[in-house]
Chains A and B, each alone.
Chain A
Amino acid sequence: MEANSVIGTVNKKGQKIVDPEYLFFEAPRQQYFMTGSEVVREAIRRASVDISVAYPITPQSEAAAMVGDLYVEGYVGDYFRGESEFAVMSQCAGASFGGARVFTTTSGPGTLRAYENFPMWAGSRLPILINVMVRGINSPLNIQPDTLELGMILDTGMLIWHAETAQELFDYLLKGYIVAEEPDVHLPIAVVIDGFFVSHTKDMVMIPSADLALTPYNPYRSPVPCMDMEVPPVRMMRDPFVMKSNYISYATHASWQQEIRAAIERSRKHTIRLIGGLIEEENSDADILIVSSGTAVAQGREAIRLLAEEGIRVGIVKVKTLRPFPHEEIRQATKNAKLIFVPEFNVVGWMAREIKAVIPDNHRVIEGPHVAGGMTLPPEVIVEEIKKVLAGKKEVVHG
């Protein structure tokens, strides 16, 4: 089946299947005031999803339940609750192996419970879309926003896009499928939002008609054959071949891993076309820059406004995709900066580490301010940090 052959046809819900470019860039949109969870529902309503598997964990439970409503309404082909997050992600793999377009959601400890599946998805080239609504992960129990889990999934082999707003969440959920399902990419994709800050607050969102739907997934374009017990990687998993201690076994596995990273790199071309670049810049010629992702960018933007009132010019670089990581774009955007602040909603500063690893003269990077455990990151805290450093009174603020 050619994907283009279904454009213009009507699905069983009466939605018209349209060219993705039309849905993303040309179709008339209407403004709505919605929570992030409701935005997930509206994106999936238009995403031609074949199956969704759910398991409750705050803060993604609401969105997962709403996808269940879509199943009842007939917009999603199948829907059920798994026994745990590990089971959910395994069941998603099964559905994707079978050629279905799959959607699921997770948060915090659920992400970690499911963790083993993410490199398995990537290694098996399964283009599953998972919406990760990040929250605290460690004891004592915490359900509040915290991006520590995001730092832990960076090298699973998944594409990772970090949405700042509900609008980006809507667009990334739909565009994510198109990029992830490209035959030269064909990888799982995590569309990430900061839990509660985006999932449970209302925002203005521009949405195309519910009478339109994305082109369905075409499994015949997959870079791997449909899996069974005789086809790798399943065959390899049960065979002594890859379990053996010999050069060929090792070289095969190493090359397999390289191919996953190569596929992440190939996604750049498609991603840049659909989301307008891997980063977004504002005043990036300033001596002082704020570089971050997700809602930390929103707080940084407000800090820029406050500093401008005091005559201090600061720019911002928003990182939209964590994988592929926009190393060249960040190098270029920060080449003239004297100080680079990296505000984050986690205690370890993984984003600062990522940035330090790709730019020259990385002593320019100031790790912070950090908050964690659900704390907000008031713009005034970012302003204070910048002014402290400028005054020569550097003092890193940890959460």
Chain B
Amino acid sequence: MGKYRVLPGPEAFLPPSAACAGIVLPDPGQGHINGEIVHEDVAMEEAAKQFLMAKVPTVFPGPLVLWNWNEKAAKKATAIKALYDELKSHNPGALLIPMPDYRPKYPKINPEVEINPNHPNLTIWHNKIDVCMFVGVHCHQANLSLKIIRGGTNCYTIAMCAQAGHEDAMLSFRDATPEKIWKFVEAVRKAKASGVYANPNGVTVSKA
């Protein structure tokens, strides 16, 4: 059996957790792409490329950055909003959909306004999201979401994690600080400026 790779799905009725399939988390200064450990800068470039090539690039901010519970959270939120603005200026179809809490919602969430870790696939499907990034979501709930998304959708997942990263995402950063999120914003700006990545929706893009 070949080495397991963390790829967009839909993978299986119940896909394995990537950690149990032999994928290990990056060390500080590293990221991973499809389960392969790479330098963090390489992961940044790839994440920027994925976002700029997407039809519906989407940022999912979680409670750790949605609520102003400490100074760092507020700084991260500012950087995340700047990231969204960069994506939106490149592709008007870009979305910013919060994961405000983790409570199971029933009979069903409104997938236009939020995403929930227990059934994240509903929001992905409804909005036809093809590339997304989790940021500020507690690690356990992020892993739940990422694995369920991999199981049932073809969405490319990116995790900007404040702790050790996520092997259930197709691409993951670790130790995310406000500065690191800004660095990613710069990577997106640089990739946009290169002109290589056309807006897939065919809309004229103005420089942010």
Contact = CB atoms under 8 A, between A and B. Distances in A.
| A, B: real partners | yes
Interface of A: 125, 182-184, 186, 221-225, 230-232, 235-236, 239-242, 244, 248, 251-252, 254-256, 258-259, 261-263, 265-266, 269
Contact of A241 (B16, B118, B144): B118
Contacts of B101: 230-231
Contact of B104 (A182, A221, A239, A254): A239
A184 B147 contact: no
A240 B140 CA distance: 22
A254 B24 contact: no
B20 interface: yes
A9 to B, nearest CB: 21
B138 A241 contact: no
B178 interface: no
Nearest to A259: B143
A262 B104 contact: no
B17 A259 contact: yes
A242 B104 CA distance: 8
B19 interface: yes
A227 to B, nearest CB: 11
Nearest to A231: B102
A230 B106 contact: no
Given A184-B163, A258-B17, A258-B147, A223 B103 contact: no
Nearest to B165: A184
Given A221-B163, A239-B104, A254-B14, A262 B144 contact: no
A262 B25 contact: no
Nearest to B19: A262
Given A251-B14, A252-B148, A241 B143 contact: no
A225 B63 contact: yes
Given A248-B118, A258-B147, A232 B139 contact: no
Contact of A182 (B14, B151, B164): B164
B38 to A, nearest CB: 17
A17 to B, nearest CB: 21
Interface of B: 14, 16-20, 24-25, 63, 101-104, 106, 118-119, 138-141, 143-144, 147-148, 151, 163-165, 167-168
Contacts of A240: 106
B106 A259 contact: no
Contact of B148 (A222, A239, A255): A255
Contacts of A269: 24-25
Contacts of B17: 255, 258-259, 261-262, 265
12 contacts: A183-B163, A230-B101, A230-B103, A231-B102, A231-B103, A235-B103, A240-B106, A254-B14, A255-B17, A255-B148, A262-B17, A266-B24
B143 A262 contact: yes
Given A265-B19, A269-B24, A225 B138 contact: yes
B103 A266 contact: no
Contacts of B103: 230-232, 235
Contacts of B167: 262
A254 B25 CA distance: 22
A184 B161 CA distance: 11
A259 B164 CA distance: 15
Given A241-B104, A266-B25, A259 B18 contact: no
B164 A224 contact: no
Contacts of A125: 140
* Residue with the greatest number of chain B CB neighbours at <10 A, chosen from A182, A183, A184: A184
Contact of A255 (B18, B25, B63, B147): B147
Given A223-B139, A235-B104, 4 more contacts: A241-B104, A242-B104, A252-B148, A263-B19
Contacts of A182: 164
A223 B163 contact: yes
A224 B19 contact: no
Contacts of A261: 17, 19-20
Contacts of B143: 223, 259, 262
A183 B101 CA distance: 19
Contacts of B119: 248, 252
A127 B102 CA distance: 21
A269 B167 CA distance: 14
B69 to A, nearest CB: 10
A221 B175 CA distance: 11
Contacts of B20: 258, 261-262, 265
Nearest to A328: B22
Contacts of A222: 138
Contacts of A259: 17, 140, 143-144, 147
B139 to A, nearest CB: 3
Contacts of A184: 25, 139, 163-165
Contacts of B164: 182-184, 266
